[in-house]
Amino acid sequence: MKTIQIINVRWFNATAWYGLYLARMLRDAGHETLVITEPDTAADAKAREWGFSPLHFDLNSSNPVRLLRAYSELRKLVTEFSPDIVNCHRGEGFILWGLLRKALGTFKLVRTRGDQRLPKNNLPNRWLHTNVADAVVATNSVMAKHFISTLHVPEEKVSTILGGVDTDKFVYSSEGRTDFRKKLGFDDSDFVVAMLGRFDEVKGQKELIEAVAKLYHEKGMKNLRLMLLGFDSATSQEEVESWIAVNNLQEINRITGKVDDVAAAISAMDLGVIASKWSETIARAAFEIMACERPLISTGVGVMPDFMDDEAMFEAGNVDALAAAIERAATDEVYRKRILRSQQKEIATLSGTNFLEKTLDLYRAL
């Protein structure tokens, strides 16, 4: 099968990861795959790192002349490459692909929606998703329901595909756990609470720091340690460090920055936390933590309720609820093992192989 994956995202965020990981699996499975990215961006660099030679078109422009030129160039690409499937992972430029789909009729058009913002219920969106796209992929059930109930996309055209994780790469390592904890100055008696993700208000680092401080200073849980497996993004490390200082957690906190062996760093956790206040439309960090057999607690935003048990979730933005969830996981081994078993059953269906096969089933049906 021949596909074009449109991943015109500036950052290597969850949307870019979803599209590029799918492209890589398609390519590795023997399907001829082209990738279109925005030049000189983090997503473009990652595509090159993964062995692609990404193509560039002016899809994100609002200039009519430049869009007309892009349309002409894309038409030439479609004529020469003759794809079976074109999959748009972003909305910018989707109108051009819709017009090409109508004009040529030589390929099937898929729109994958991994953005946290629900699409607006307007005439162009309804036309594109209902009458032009051959299929819509939602990365969580909330998004799928919005397409069906609000934009009135026929239910049979909407598929929910959560994504997947590379279960060959993300594997628990006892040796990696020991080495990474030693590097951070943690020992076996420490209970390491950790968050994996870029520094951003949406991710809830501030709330996690405050929750750990409550338990450490007010509840006397002196074996707690905090690991922030992340780096500067919308929020600077300096600001994160100021929150740590205000809460007097400098001695028990470690910020890792970027690490070479992410699986080893995840293995060093005793409890993973997703404290996101919104977003999480694609659960990359959660899948990686679960694949490394670490118990996970989470807010109930975005895609999280699609695979998390209710008893492993807490209210978003509520520091007291987060502290209570951490305390329960740290002190109740039976509970911790129970949520871990449940999450291991879920992650068994969320491998990269499952992700690829679900997508290929859709492509073949089209």
340 and 357 within one domain: no
What is the rounded average pLDDT of the residues 1-6?
98
The number of folded domains in the chain is 2
CA distance 12 to 131: 31
86 and 210 within one domain: no
| Residue 113 or 62, more confident | 113
Residue 200 pLDDT: 92
N-terminal to C-terminal alpha carbon distance within the chain: 12
Question: pLDDT by residue (tens digit) across 201-251?
Answer: 999 999 999 999 999 999 999 999 999 999 888 899 999 999 999 999 999
Q: What percent of the chain has pLDDT over 90?
A: 92
**Is residue 27 predicted with pLDDT exceeding 90?**
yes
Cβ atoms of residues 248 and 226 within 8 Å: no
CA distance 310 to 213: 25
Cβ atoms of residues 136 and 153 within 8 Å: yes
| Residue 42 or 279, more confident | 42
314 and 211 within one domain: yes
199 and 111 within one domain: no
143 and 188 within one domain: no
What is the rounded average pLDDT of the residues 303-315?
96
What is the rounded average pLDDT of the residues 173-195?
97
Instruction: Give the CA angle between residues 346, 347, 352 to the nearest 5°.
Output: 135
**Is residue 293 predicted with pLDDT exceeding 90?**
yes
Q: Which pair of tokens denotes residue 244? A: 């740590």
Tell whether 74 is covered by a domain.
yes
233 and 219 within one domain: yes
Tell whether 325 is covered by a domain.
yes
Tell whether 311 is covered by a domain.
yes
Amino acid, single-letter form, for residue 258: K
Residue 180 pLDDT: 97
Q: Which pair of tokens denotes residue 314? A: 């807490």
Phi and psi dihedrals of 325, rounded to 5? -65, -40
Q: Element (H or E) spanning 298, and its range?
A: strand 296-299
Would you tell me how many other CB atoms lie within 10 Å of the CB of residue 63? 10
Residue 44 pLDDT: 97
318 and 200 within one domain: yes
Residue 11 pLDDT: 86
CA distance 167 to 266: 13
Instruction: Give the CA angle between residues 187, 188, 192 to the nearest 5°.
Output: 80
Tell whether 330 is covered by a domain.
yes
b/e code 295-334 from CB counts within 10 Å (16+ = b): bbbbbbbbbbbbbbeeebbbebbbbebbbebbbbbbeeee
CA-nearest of 227, 234, 241 to 201 is: 234
288 and 236 within one domain: yes
Residue 255 pLDDT: 96
CA distance 283 to 73: 35
Amino acid, single-letter form, for residue 55: L
Q: Is the pTM of this model over 0.85?
A: yes
> pLDDT confidence of 348, banded at 50, 70, 90?
very high
Residue 115 pLDDT: 84
CA-nearest of 210, 193, 213, 198 to 336 is: 193
231 and 151 within one domain: no
Q: Residue 312's domain spans which residues? A: 174-347
Cβ atoms of residues 267 and 243 within 8 Å: no
Residue 364 pLDDT: 98
CA distance 36 to 13: 16
Tell whether 115 is covered by a domain.
yes
Tell whether 135 is covered by a domain.
yes
**Is residue 273 predicted with pLDDT exceeding 90?**
yes
Residue 278 pLDDT: 86
Residue 62 pLDDT: 86
- Domain with residue 263: its CATH number is 3.40.50.2000
Residue 117 pLDDT: 83
CA distance 283 to 188: 29
Tell whether 169 is covered by a domain.
no
99 and 230 within one domain: no
339 and 201 within one domain: yes
Instruction: Give the CA angle between residues 158, 75, 23 to the nearest 5°.
Output: 50
158 and 15 within one domain: yes
Q: What's the whole-number average pLDDT of the chain?
A: 96
Residue 284 pLDDT: 94
Tell whether 189 is covered by a domain.
yes
